[in-house]
A = this chain, B = another copy of it.
Amino acid sequence: LKAIKARNRNISIKDIAEKAQVSIGPVDKVLHNRGGVSETTKARILKAIEELNYKPNVLASRLKSNKEYTICVLIPGANVGIPFWSQYIKGFEDAEDELSQFGIYIEIFYFDQNSEESFRAQIDAVFESNCDGIFMVPVFAEQTNRLLGICDERRIPAIFFNTEFPVKGNLSFIGQNSFESGFLAADLLSKCIPESSSILLANLVREADNHMHFQERENGFRSFFEQQTELAGIKVLKYENKSGDDHAIKQDLLKIIGEENVKSIFCTNGTNKVAQIVCEQSMKGLRLIGYDLIDENIDYLNKGVIDFLISQQPYTQAFQGIKLFYQFLILKQPITETQYLPIDIVMKSNLKYYGK
């Protein structure tokens, strides 16, 4: 990789200054848009920067400036201690470990996933701290929009993770493409079930949060079967119950499974609930696929009740997400657009590699 090596020649601000026939003072000002430089010299300096292909030395810059950047993380906190969420924390810790040498620090703000008021309050708390970037799960739309307004004003970059949010503007999202994950689930299930059987699509949301990605998972799932004409024998049934009434859910599920030829279940959420019911009845040969490596799901995976779990890669979301801020704040690179992570299929046999 010699090319890269050659590229990193030691072109310093001194070289630019020399070429532009000024001292390093104005050069630095131009580099940081700090003003106070005449148009003509500015032009000369910019030309020199361009021609010499100057790359700032991040290390030296960092060494001198000692500036500290705080990234505020806004994340549901009711679930602390659950592996799915603690994987995020692990990611934040590792990212800070690596980036603290560049002055990047992370401050975590927890909000109650079911309380818009709590979300609002934590947003306020974030803005009261001086923060140089916000990395968050945009649960409530209205408050998220308010936040974006303030970010815009104060020129604070915000990046979303876990949950997509429909916005225009120079924002970024890091997480899973829900549609594709549903599509993948369908692809996978289609290989594990009889040519003529029913799949039950279960949706048991009851939280007050953004349901968009549950719907997208379903859309992706259905889309797969619509594309495959040879799978015409497969029937997709849907069961939705947002009441939170576990008893009723159980009754309904058992009824459907008993009456229809259900050989598999796809849970867009609430996998653990379905798993519990399936487990109690010890139904053999029923394929079950769902989302998220939470403790309960992991148990059922190990017991063989759940066949597949789709991971959202919380660790990677956190780690990579914070690195985006490094790239923006330190390396001055533009923030990349939406960044979908690989969709991993987790089974009992490769579980250990996916945290916990």
Taking beta carbons and an 8 Å cutoff, which residues of A are in contact with B?
Answer: 1-2, 4-5, 8, 57-60, 62-63, 92-93, 96-97, 100-102, 105-108, 180, 183-184, 186-188, 191-192, 224, 287, 307, 340-345, 347-350, 353-354
Contacts and interface: CB of A to CB of B under 8 A. Distances in A.
A105 to B, nearest CB: 5
Given A4-B93, A191-B307, A59 B101 contact: yes
Contacts of A344: 342, 344-345, 350
Contacts of A4: 93, 96-97, 100, 105
Contacts of A184: 347, 349-350
Given A58-B101, A354-B342, A1 B347 contact: no
A193 B100 CA distance: 51
A1 B180 contact: no
A102 B58 CA distance: 10
Contacts of A2: 107
Contacts of A63: 57, 59-60, 63
Contact of A192 (B107, B192, B345): B192
Residue of A1, A187, A287 with most partner-chain B CB within 10 A: A1
Contact of A287 (B57, B93, B191): B191
29 contacts: A1-B96, A1-B106, A4-B93, A4-B96, A4-B97, A4-B100, A4-B105, A5-B105, A57-B101, A58-B101, A59-B59, A59-B62, A59-B63, A59-B101, A59-B102, A60-B63, A183-B349, A184-B347, A187-B347, A188-B349, A191-B192, A191-B307, A342-B344, A342-B350, A342-B353, A342-B354, A344-B345, A345-B345, A345-B347
A347 B5 contact: no
Contacts of A350: 180, 184, 342-345
Nearest to A230: B284
Contacts of A340: 353
Given A59-B62, A224-B349, 5 more contacts: A4-B93, A4-B96, A59-B101, A188-B349, A345-B345
Contacts of A108: 1
A347 B344 CA distance: 10
Contacts of A58: 101
Given A59-B62, A101-B58, A188 B347 contact: yes
Nearest to A2: B107
A224 B184 CA distance: 25
Contacts of A180: 349-350
Residue of A97, A102, A191, A348 with most partner-chain B CB within 10 A: A191
A224 to B, nearest CB: 7
A188 B354 CA distance: 17
A59 B2 CA distance: 23
